[in-house]
Amino acid sequence: AKIFEEMYPFIKGRVEVFHNYIPINYYKSLPDGDETVFIRGTDATLVSVSRLDPLKGIELAIQACRILVDKGKDIRWYVLGDGVHRSKVQSLIEDANLERYFILLGFQENVPWYIRRSDIFVHSSRSEGKSNAVDEALFYKVPVVVTDYPTVGDQIQHNYNGLVCAMNGEEIAKAIEKLLEEPELRNR
């Protein structure tokens, strides 16, 4: 709320904070995700949940994926969500020859089904208020990698409940590799 009021001073004093709500019982009532498209990577299965929008840093995730694949990692990185930039994001994936590794699943109603089946949850955003998806990954005890957007400290404390990295593909890839190489850290 403080950051929001700093950005938009004309609303100062009229902002209320509503904490994220995870509708567990609702999710339990939903059908499972699609096992035919959710193929696990040998080294890791990653999930991101995001609107396909430049503010969400999906191109940073694509860069990180390219780095990991170039290092020989057999990963599958699924993005749940859609947006007006879907064709642009798909072009970036194709330009990087990552169609096999970086997969856009579009809007999925039962997001936790996918999060729970992932090895690492990655949030490459440039800007957030408070991410529901990060809260869901924390709830389901999935290791989290997030970029250092201004409000990240409201949810993630580096090396405590997730890894916070710089906002670029190389640092995202390094954080993912760290979790892959350090099972104790990943389990913690």
Helix, strand, or coil (residue 30): coil
Which pLDDT value is given to residue 134? 96
**What gap in Å lies between CA 78 and CA 187, rounded to an integer?**
21
Which pLDDT value is given to residue 17? 83
Which pLDDT value is given to residue 122? 98
Please state the pTM of the whole predicted model: 0.89
Instruction: Please give the full DSSP string across 37-99, using - where no structure is assigned.
Output: T-PPPSSEEEEEE--SSGGGTHHHHHHHHHHHHHTT--EEEEEE---TTHHHHHHHHHHTT-T
Alpha helices in 122-168 (DSSP H): 132-139
Helix, strand, or coil (residue 106): strand
Strands 163-165 and 120-123: unpaired
Do 36 and 146 form a contact (C-beta atoms < 8 A)?
no
**What gap in Å lies between CA 50 and CA 108, rounded to an integer?**
11
Which pLDDT value is given to residue 36? 85
Closest by CA to 63, choosing from 114, 37, 101, is 101
Which pLDDT value is given to residue 29? 87
DSSP symbol at 162: B
Residues of the chain under the 50 pLDDT cut: none
